[in-house]
Structure 1
Amino acid sequence: MNDLLNNDTIVALATPAGIGAIGVIRLSGTEAINIIGRVFKGKDLNKQASHTIHFGHIVDGEVTLDEVLVSLFVAPRSYTRENVVEISCHGSNYIIESIIKLLIKNGARAARAGEFTLRAFLNGQLDLSQAEAVADLIAANSKASQQVAMQQLRGGFSNQLQALREQLVQFASLVELELDFSEEDVEFANREQLRSLVHEIMRVIGKLIQSFELGNAIKQGVNTVIAGRPNAGKSTLLNALLNEERAIVSHIPGTTRDTIEEILNIRGINFRLIDTAGIREATDTIEQIGVQKTMEKISQSALLVYVYDALAITLEELNNDIASLQKPDMNMLIVANKADLLNPEQLAALPHTESAVIISAKEKRHIDELKHKIYDAAIKSQLNGDETLVTNIRHLEALQKTETALTRVLDGITVSVTSDFLAMDIKQALHYLGEITGTVTTDDLLDNIFSKFCIGK
């Protein structure tokens, strides 16, 4: 990573590859303005103010490549805190490649994946968790995932952790001071105050750790399996939820042999709907594989929508099915289908609970009610726009390690361990908290994070 800590001026296409109306080429580095000045026919860009846009032509000797708009961002008032230039040109692949080659010939080099954001981090514009939020924001495919990424990008997560870390650093300094006076047996760090602080930090960290389940669901989508016996109407229900004919519907049992996956957005949350093969004793090898896949998908799901034919199953059979499918960490909705074929007496006999819904997938009755139930079962009113949610597995692991180190601090206070052991455990907690925001980093960690970014960001 040391080779990135230099004065190279980097260049890359910042817009998606492919033909479009325009393409935006980005440069960043000390020489960015000088390099573009060598190939830009128009105003003298070195004499222009930051955050201004200028019309002109990109020329290679006597050859004009394109007419462009050049946007200037003079250091340190830019995304990377370096001189940044953005060239808006026509979206022809030939034009874009020609301009990039020309800029490289004049002193720039091709940027690596995520190198612009890496420079923003290395130059103090963003901390590491904010830099990761940039990638999450680019990848956001729902309103909720966009909101969570924006909250992290604005520093909500970082600020919360930094405030806790600063308080712990103060106590760490006092404990370290005790080591200098070890022969005099003095305590500069009040142990009860330290205990109270650690309890408060662990309370906040515990809440952040618990938020990962919801945060990850928002980021990745909620795995939602539609399961039930053959001919219960699972595929019809999938079609009704999506409002399109996505799955083949037939009265013949065992029609669905493989899983069908689609995305359904409900109130800003993506649900990954998985229609599965009917659960029964398989009559052939292919169907047996389908049933096996169904059980695998159920075991991996966050939410199970169990659909049953209200005319073709007894209450005992229903209860047995539910008992066999229910898992400890899985939410479950019980959906009675084919309500259009039931009389009032039969409808009244169906289970009526908070997790039960009565629908007609064929007639699309009560589908909106089911969508509300699906949302509530997965989210449970946990989503608060101001609440910090952990969405990154790296952050989760660092928080868990911090929690373990702080537990050792509490144990040490309880048994009155010496200051050197106490200091060691506090340092460990500070180290893991620092890994999240980038106060503590390694080259391998940065390589791993930024290599996952797209070129040009």
Structure 2
Amino acid sequence: MILQDTIVALATPSGAGAIAIIRLSGADAIHFADNQFRSVSGKLLAKQKTHTIHLGHIMDGNKTIDEVLVSVFKNPNSYTGEDVVEISCHGSKYIQQEIIQLFLRNGCRMATAGEFTLRAFLNGKLDLSQAEAVADLITSDNEASHQIAMQQMRGGFSSEIAKLREELLNFASLIELELDFAEEDVEFADRTKFKDLVERISFVLKRLIDSFAIGNVIKNGIPVAIVGEPNVGKSTLLNALLNEERAIVSEIAGTTRDTVEDEISIGGMGFRFIDTAGIRETQDVVESIGIKKTFEKIEQAQVVIYLFDSTQFKTLGSQFKIELEKIKNKYPQKPLIIIANKIDKLNEIDISNLKSQISNLELLSAKEGIGVDELKNKLLSFVNTGSLRNNDTIITNSRHYDSLLKALDEIEKVKHGLESGLSGDLLAIDIRQALYHFGEITGEITNDDLLGNIFANFCIGK
């Protein structure tokens, strides 16, 4: 795929603002800019040094569209590896469109989604995993996802894969060489060292694959379902966690008929809270649908919060325990936090009695904000962030995960072949397949369909 023309797009979010940036990239980007830009100094952009900024006006013939600052980045020292011009204009939607339309009329083409980053990849400025990390960085909405995206964009993941691929490629070359001298029965590749390498590659691949579980929830937010009987304070708790009136709160049981979701960041980690309809027997058709959705949301959740009204425990305690046991039995693998709400209305004796009957009980008053911070810390404790603190590579991309699984499968075949004394020509087949899947991750192996699928998810202008 070779793209030779010059593209243009709005690089800042669409809509009115103080400043907007319009980006051009391509062999004629500076030439096109010079045709429409009049510097206050009278100098041509083509004669200026790279990474310089110039004040002037964008002109449509004799008509002045806007006073702008133009940044010049000459190849190969630009984001795309081509000549790049960025025009900082006033953020009026009219001005933005006038400037873009001006360049389109004069020979530029409107950039497709992700085309600037695609060109950066094609010109060797980024590998494919780094390019994908750009999109993750743009969409990161908490500290943890931002940190992972930054690490991958700097090449942390791809450099680890590239190193393994290079070592494997070296041994593959020696084994291929052995095939050329098959009649002489020589062995260029030290099988002991090769076996050690395969063991090390297998260990690294398994670590990366295992990291996807945490990486996926960090990237997408950790879903937490808040469940319990009607009118026990689930919506109040959601509002307390979010610090805003997100869910409707009333004294009428069954007010929440559908699930209500919102996200917050706790300790740099994204959590997606789901306030569900109360679990109870009901003849109300709409409420029944809401209760059905509650169990669907529990299925999707990583953590479940079971909330009950502590003031009703004396009369309804057995009912609460039955519902609690249902959830425990149906979802035994899910972390479960049991919370007694409205403790501000209890005395010390009642609280002590509660603790004696339910183990690992959390005490809380959602209305008064008591115990909310402790709950946030409890939620954070379920997330293993040791890898983040240690700067270990964490996988968040499902495409990478799939390629790693396939690479591991081929490496296991190579390992088995070494142990069983398989011939070099058969080993070479599995090694080539492993190298192929490594190459899929970083972009050494690619095709137009794959690139189209990846970059179609980018925003236009990036």
> What's the TM-score bracket when you normalise by the shorter of the two chains?
over 0.9
- Compared CA separation, residues 303 and 381, structure 1 to 2 (3 A): farther
- Compared CA separation, residues 445 and 285, structure 1 to 2 (3 A): same
Residue 180 (structure 1) shift: 1.2
Identity value in percent: 54
Q: Please say which of residues 300-309 and 322-331 is displaced more in the overlay.
A: 322-331
Q: Give the alignment's TM-score, normalised by structure 1.
A: 0.95
What letter corresponds to residue 266 of structure 2 in structure 1?
A: I
Task: Tell me which residue corresponds to 2:34.
Answer: 37
| 8 Å Cα contact 1:302-1:378 kept in structure 2 | no
What letter corresponds to residue 387 of structure 1 in structure 2?
A: D
What letter corresponds to residue 98 of structure 1 in structure 2?
A: E
CA-to-aligned-CA distance 1:127-165 (integer Å, 9 cap, x gap): 001000111111111122111111111111111111111
Task: Tell me which residue corresponds to 1:346.
Answer: 350
Alignment of 1:41-440 (within 5 A): 41-42=38-39, 43-313=43-313, 320-326=322-328, 327-351=331-355, 356-379=361-384, 381-384=386-389, 386-440=391-445
SS for the counterpart of 1:72 is: strand
Number of residues of Structure 1 aligned to a counterpart in Structure 2: 454
| 8 Å Cα contact 1:355-1:373 kept in structure 2 | no
- Compared CA separation, residues 151 and 336, structure 1 to 2 (3 A): same
Structure 1 residue 18 corresponds to structure 2 residue 15: yes
CA-to-aligned-CA distance 1:314-357 (integer Å, 9 cap, x gap): 77655543442232542221112122233323322334899531
Q: Distance in 1 between matches of 2:143 and 2:225?
A: 22
| 8 Å Cα contact 2:236-2:247 kept in structure 1 | yes
Q: Distance in 2 between matches of 1:191 and 1:324?
A: 56
Q: Distance in 2 between matches of 1:416 and 1:216?
A: 39
Q: Distance in 1 between matches of 2:308 and 2:198?
A: 50
- Compared CA separation, residues 428 and 356, structure 1 to 2 (3 A): farther
- Compared CA separation, residues 125 and 397, structure 1 to 2 (3 A): same
| 8 Å Cα contact 1:282-1:291 kept in structure 2 | no
Q: Give the alignment's TM-score, normalised by structure 2.
A: 0.94
Residue 381 (structure 1) shift: 4.7
Structure 1 unaligned blocks of 5 or more: none
SS for the counterpart of 2:308 is: strand
SS for the counterpart of 1:158 is: helix
Residue 39 (structure 1) shift: 1.4
CA-to-aligned-CA distance 1:387-411 (integer Å, 9 cap, x gap): 2111111011111111111111111
SS for the counterpart of 2:265 is: strand
Residue 380 (structure 1) shift: 5.9
Q: Distance in 1 between matches of 2:3 and 2:240?
A: 57
Q: Distance in 1 between matches of 2:239 and 2:103?
A: 52
Structure 1 residue 8 corresponds to structure 2 residue 5: yes
Q: Please say which of residues 316-325 and 184-193 is displaced more in the overlay.
A: 316-325
CA-to-aligned-CA distance 1:27-83 (integer Å, 9 cap, x gap): 111111111111111221111100111111111222222211110001111001111
SS for the counterpart of 1:378 is: coil
CA-to-aligned-CA distance 1:188-243 (integer Å, 9 cap, x gap): 22223222211211211111111112111111111111011222221121122122
Q: Please say which of residues 354-363 and 221-230 is displaced more in the overlay.
A: 354-363
Residue 187 (structure 1) shift: 2.3
Structure 2 unaligned blocks of 5 or more: none
Q: Please say which of residues 186-195 and 300-309 is displaced more in the overlay.
A: 186-195
- Compared CA separation, residues 182 and 356, structure 1 to 2 (3 A): farther
- Compared CA separation, residues 11 and 384, structure 1 to 2 (3 A): same
CA-to-aligned-CA distance 1:226-275 (integer Å, 9 cap, x gap): 01122222112112212222222233322211111111221122211100
SS for the counterpart of 1:350 is: helix
